[in-house]
Amino acid sequence: SQKIEQNSEALNIQEGKTATLTCNYTNYSPAYLQWYRQDPGRGPVFLLLIRENEKEKRKERLKVTFDTTLKQSLFHITASQPADSATYLCALAYNQAGTALIFGKGTTLSVSS
Amino acid sequence: DAGVIQSPRHEVTEMGQEVTLRCKPISGHNSLFWYRQTMMRGLELLIYFNNNVPIDDSGMPEDRFSAKMPNASFSTLKIQPSEPRDSAVYFCASTPGLAGGELFFGEGSRLTVL
């Protein structure tokens, strides 16, 4: 069965540094991969989507890479701020039409000032 | 526009009782999903609907769980009878197209079964 691993349960960094979160998957090649942010007591909120034929996607201070050879996605937050502290979830869709997203357990990021 | 609306936000019940969770998706969204989140297992897909039809219910843990979508603006997830191991946060999400696209989540229903 499909498996998604987000390597770190928790990541602590200082304000201004770049946070890098990792998502690894096994078995199948996903059609695309998404990243979500979840704050305590709230539902996940969509951040970025990257397709299998894309290497990199950017949105403001966020950057996502997708390496289908390594079966890995990296999620970067540059110039991190305390407001970036949250849990970040990686999710995969295994085909374009009909398969629901499967989520990793998430990495909790804490940015200290 | 209102987002995905879930009720109740919190539910505390005793083992053996029936629990019904409700969801109103975003208007115009064709796909609706029920997920369950726990610390141990993370966010797990239970079932999803497309155009009110159940497409994949392989994540429904057992016969005690059932889900319906009688129309495009309403879905329920029912647990009967409930057990302490069902304690979790249950999320409903919707998306405008087919499954796999960006999901819009509700705020969740936190269920505690004593």
Q: What is the tens place of the pLDDT at every residue in A43-84?
A: 999 999 998 889 899 999 999 999 988 999 999 999 999 999
* Residue pair A50/A68 in contact by the 8 Å Cβ criterion: no
Query: Mean pLDDT across the stretch A85-106?
Result: 84
pLDDT tens digits along A21-37:
999 998 777 878 999 99
CA dist., res. B45 & res. B57, Å (int): 9
- pLDDT for the residue A29: 75
Contacts with A49 from chain B: Cβ below 8 Å: 102
Q: What per-residue confidence (pLDDT) applies to A31?
A: 79
| Residues forming a β-bridge with A35 | A48, A90
Residue A27: strand, helix, or coil: coil
**Sites in chain B below the pLDDT cut of 70:** 1, 98-100
Q: Please report the pLDDT score of residue A15 as a whole number.
A: 97
- Asked whether the beta carbons of residue B106 and residue A95 sit closer than 8 angstroms, the reply is no
- For residue A87, what is the nearest residue in chain B, using CA coordinates? B42
What does the pLDDT read at residue A112? Answer: 96
CB contact at 8 A, B26 and B5: no
Higher pLDDT, A94 or B66: B66
Average pLDDT over residues A17-22: 96
What is residue A95's predicted lDDT score, i.e. its pLDDT?
61
In chain B, which residue's Cα lies nearest the Cα of A30? B100
Other CB atoms closer than 10 Å to residue B29's CB: what's the count? 18
pLDDT given at position A44 = 98
Q: What is the mean pLDDT of chain A?
A: 90
Q: Is the pLDDT of residue A98 over 60?
A: no
Nearest-angstrom CA–CA distance, A7 and B44: 18
Closest CA to A43 of B74, B15, B46, B35: B35
